[in-house]
Amino acid sequence: MNSEKRLIIAFTLSLGILFLFQTFFVPPPSKTPQKTTQNVDITKEQTMVSEEKNLPPAEETLTEVETDEYILTICNPGGYVKNVSFKKYEDSQEFSNLFVTPAVKDKDFDIQISSKSIRLSTKDGFYKQINLKGDYLLQLETNVSGEISILSGEVFNNMDGRYQEIVYKSGGDIQHSSISKIRKNPISLTEGLIGLRNRYFTAAVILPDKERFVASIVDKYVDISLNTNKLKTNIELYLGPEKTSILKKHDLQGLVKYGFFHPIAIFLLKILTLLFALFHNWGLAIIALSALIYLAFSPLTKKSAQSFKKMQELQPQMEALKVKYKTDSQRLNQEIMKLYSENKLNPLGGCLPLFIQLPIFFALYPILMRFIEIKGASFLWIKDLSKPDTLSFLGAVGDKIHVLPVLMAGLMFFQQKLNSSKSAINPEQQKMMTLFFPIFFGVIFYSFPAGLVLYWFTNSLFSTAYQYKISKQK
């Protein structure tokens, strides 16, 4: 492969990685409501909540309450939900400090549990009742007035922080706003919904009329609260997974967004779901999806391989032109383009499949990173397709090695060897490039979920097999 083509591929890959980073790692710009809208107010002075949240003192009693959908940890004094864990999903304790009421922060609440509700009450008549309405919908009834913190979620500073965002709706479609935007400009609404979205779960308040709810950053927490003077307050809260079948029941489908390539992602997700219904295993479904995409692009792959082979055949003539016109770069470029034209060769033809498949990869990336059905799904040695894979039988060393990215890097190394077998560029330069691409992609994919690496590995396996077949042909 000549140096010009490698430069094109390197540039394309770098551009793709940059676009991937900007699209999915950098928080997207929010659509800020207009200040002229009566129901939306982003004035900082009106919405900023005190930095001191007035949570109950450190000495506390914790009581676990298990329902069909949750494990709720009730804290006394204060009578609030300190932690939430979703029973059907592991490692899902992502929301905390629900229904905190500073006015009764020092009071102990008695707990009465039934199949439909959890009632918290004090001896002097204050109460909070959490009604379990099913399908991850909660209803809070309380006679505590003043400030009520409906929910609070810790601001993540690790990689999961890129998934956190505020969702809100006021008369239109559901909007998404980054945490950094909310830190500067808290959002205040009196209708619609407002909530906090994480990687797999959403906590969204379905707003009652004429009650002003504020989403802001309080210390290290995203806080959604209101101040009320009503003798009795009723608030509905969706607190559950971002699972399409459940969200549809509450008309919350707009909570799920898959970035710039959302329409492509939805199409791929439908295919992936159908494949799962066929194979009953998400790993096999991902492999089958990769195979279908490879077959769909196989005509382009064949054309790319033919173009690459022609480029190899023209290497001696191109090298001769470089020697002949080494002092005249303009004439050299003209002669090279003439050589391409005479042989009906497009120098960018080999990169065409990569250009076209980049949107497919960018659409699959958020699906396999956030699709909750894949959470906890196993395949072969992979215990969870939503996390990086490890091989446990290797012991302490294996527990620290993500195997699939290493296999992928080895496959790419073999692929580079195939591509460079007839290349005319400097051997030392060729050796460096052969090592660069596998290491580069191995590092990038090392911490990616195993499902995403499995897709890319399968696609690379098909491509490598085809290239090997072409390399053996005369």
Query: Model confidence over 18-58: pLDDT tens digits?
Result: 444 434 443 443 333 333 332 333 333 333 333 445 554 55
Show which of 241, 258, 275 is a domain's final residue.
258
* Element of type H or E holding 41: strand 40-41
Cβ–Cβ under 8 Å, residues 187 and 168: yes
**Tell me, what's the pLDDT at 268?**
92
Same domain flag for 197 and 235? yes
Same domain flag for 198 and 341? no
Tokens of 12: 């394309």
Strand order, beta sheet including 40-41: 40-41, 187-189, 213-218, 221-228, 146-154, 95-98, 80-86, 70-76, 61-66
CA separation for the pair 69, 238 (Å, rounded): 12
Which runs of consecutive H residues, i.e. helices, occur in 132-196?
179-184
**Tell me, what's the pLDDT at 328?**
75
**Tell me, what's the pLDDT at 156?**
73
Same domain flag for 247 and 288? no
**Tell me, what's the pLDDT at 280?**
93
Same domain flag for 241 and 97? yes
Show which of 258, 287, 321 is a domain's final residue.
258
For 165-271, strand residue ranges (E) read 165-169, 175-178, 187-189, 193-197, 201-206, 213-218, 221-228, 233-241
Same domain flag for 141 and 215? yes
**Tell me, what's the pLDDT at 459?**
84
Give the pLDDT band of residue 160 (cuts 50, 70, 90): low
Same domain flag for 285 and 247? no
CA separation for the pair 1, 428 (Å, rounded): 14
* Preceding omega of 77 cis (within 30 degrees of 0): yes
Same domain flag for 111 and 142? yes
* Element of type H or E holding 356: helix 352-370
**Tell me, what's the pLDDT at 473?**
66
CA separation for the pair 268, 452 (Å, rounded): 13
CA separation for the pair 293, 455 (Å, rounded): 10
Does residue 394 have a pLDDT over 80? no
Q: pTM of the predicted model, to two decimals?
A: 0.74
CA separation for the pair 234, 282 (Å, rounded): 41
Same domain flag for 309 and 390? yes
Phi, then psi, of 233 in degrees rounded to 5? -120, 135
Half-sphere exposure of 348 (CA within 13 A, CB side): 6
What does the pLDDT average to over 177-205?
Answer: 87
Q: Which amino acid is at 40?
A: V
Residue 337 vs residues 3, 65, 333, 390, 442: alpha-carbon distances, Å: 15, 74, 6, 49, 35
Q: Is 145 helix (H, G, I), strand (E, B) or coil?
A: coil
Same domain flag for 52 and 13? no
**Tell me, what's the pLDDT at 181?**
86
**Tell me, what's the pLDDT at 432?**
65
Strands 117-121 and 175-178, by their bridges, are: unpaired
Range 286-291 contact pairs with CB under 8 angstroms and sequence separation of 24 or more? 286/368, 286/385, 286/451, 286/454, 286/455, 286/458, 287/454, 287/455, 287/458, 289/455, 290/454, 290/455, 290/458, 290/459, 290/462, 291/458, 291/462
CATH code of residue 122: 2.70.98.90
* Count of domains forming the chain: 2
CA separation for the pair 88, 68 (Å, rounded): 9
Q: The domain containing residue 316 runs over which residues?
A: 3-22+263-472
Mean predicted lDDT score pLDDT of the chain: 77
Which runs of consecutive H residues, i.e. helices, occur in 136-281?
179-184, 244-249, 262-279
Does residue 341 have a pLDDT over 90? no
Cβ–Cβ under 8 Å, residues 75 and 100: no
First to last CA, the chain: 17
Output the CA angle 170-252-275, nearest 5 degrees.
Answer: 150
Q: Is 410 helix (H, G, I), strand (E, B) or coil?
A: helix
Same domain flag for 121 and 172? yes
Same domain flag for 55 and 189? yes
What does the pLDDT average to over 152-181?
Answer: 80
Pairwise pLDDT comparison (399 vs 450), residue with the higher score: 450
DSSP 144: -
Burial of residue 156 (CB within 10 Å: 0-12, 13-18, 19+) is: middle
Half-sphere exposure of 129 (CA within 13 A, CB side): 13
Which runs of consecutive H residues, i.e. helices, occur in 179-235?
179-184
Q: Which amino acid is at 157?
A: N
CB atoms closer than 10 angstroms to residue 188: 22
- Residues 6 or more apart whose Cβ sits within 8 Å of residue 18: none
Q: Which range (163-167, 363-367, 384-388, 390-394) has the least confidence?
A: 390-394
CB atoms closer than 10 angstroms to residue 299: 10
Does residue 314 have a pLDDT over 80? no
Does residue 287 have a pLDDT over 90? yes
pLDDT digits (tens, 9 = 90+) for 343-381: 777 666 556 666 777 788 888 888 888 888 888 888 988
CA separation for the pair 260, 54 (Å, rounded): 40
Same domain flag for 89 and 131? yes
**Tell me, what's the pLDDT at 184?**
84
User: Can you give the C-alpha Rg of the chain in angstroms?
Assistant: 28
CA separation for the pair 437, 157 (Å, rounded): 30
Residue 446 vs residues 23, 62, 146, 203, 389: alpha-carbon distances, Å: 19, 39, 49, 31, 9
**Tell me, what's the pLDDT at 11?**
42
Show which of 258, 280, 312 is a domain's final residue.
258
What does the pLDDT average to over 179-197?
Answer: 86
DSSP 102: G
CA separation for the pair 59, 167 (Å, rounded): 34
CA separation for the pair 65, 87 (Å, rounded): 12
What does the pLDDT average to over 110-121?
Answer: 91
CA separation for the pair 352, 334 (Å, rounded): 23
Cβ–Cβ under 8 Å, residues 151 and 98: yes
**Tell me, what's the pLDDT at 400?**
67
**Tell me, what's the pLDDT at 41?**
38
